[in-house]
């Protein structure tokens, strides 16, 4: 993920697929980083509290975003 790509998705709503793929969570992307050769994004739930770094591959932008 390039800096320009990260800037494009910052603040966007997305769907986070859980590791077990039986649950999806609507989130907002608030930051991004490259760590150990992989791209991660920091997400916060649209309803609820907290934030977590996850692999960018697990996050899909919502339609229209």
Give the tens place of pLDDT for each residue, 38-54. Answer: 889 999 999 999 999 99
CATH topology classification for 3-61: SH3 type barrels. (2.30.30)
Q: Is the pLDDT of residue 65 over 70?
A: no
Tokens of residue 53, six digits: 């770094």
Where do the domains of the chain lie? Answer: 3-61
State the chain's mean pLDDT as an integer.
88
pTM of the model: 0.84
Band the pLDDT of 27: cuts 50, 70, 90. Answer: very high
């Amino acid at each position: 993920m390039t800096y320009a790509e990260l800037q494009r998705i910052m603040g966007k709503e997305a769907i986070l697929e859980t590791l077990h793929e039986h649950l999806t969570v609507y989130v907002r992307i608030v930051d991004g980083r490259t760590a150990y050769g992989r791209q991660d994004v920091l997400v916060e739930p649209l309803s609820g509290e907290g934030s977590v770094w996850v692999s960018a591959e697990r996050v899909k932008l919502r339609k229209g975003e």
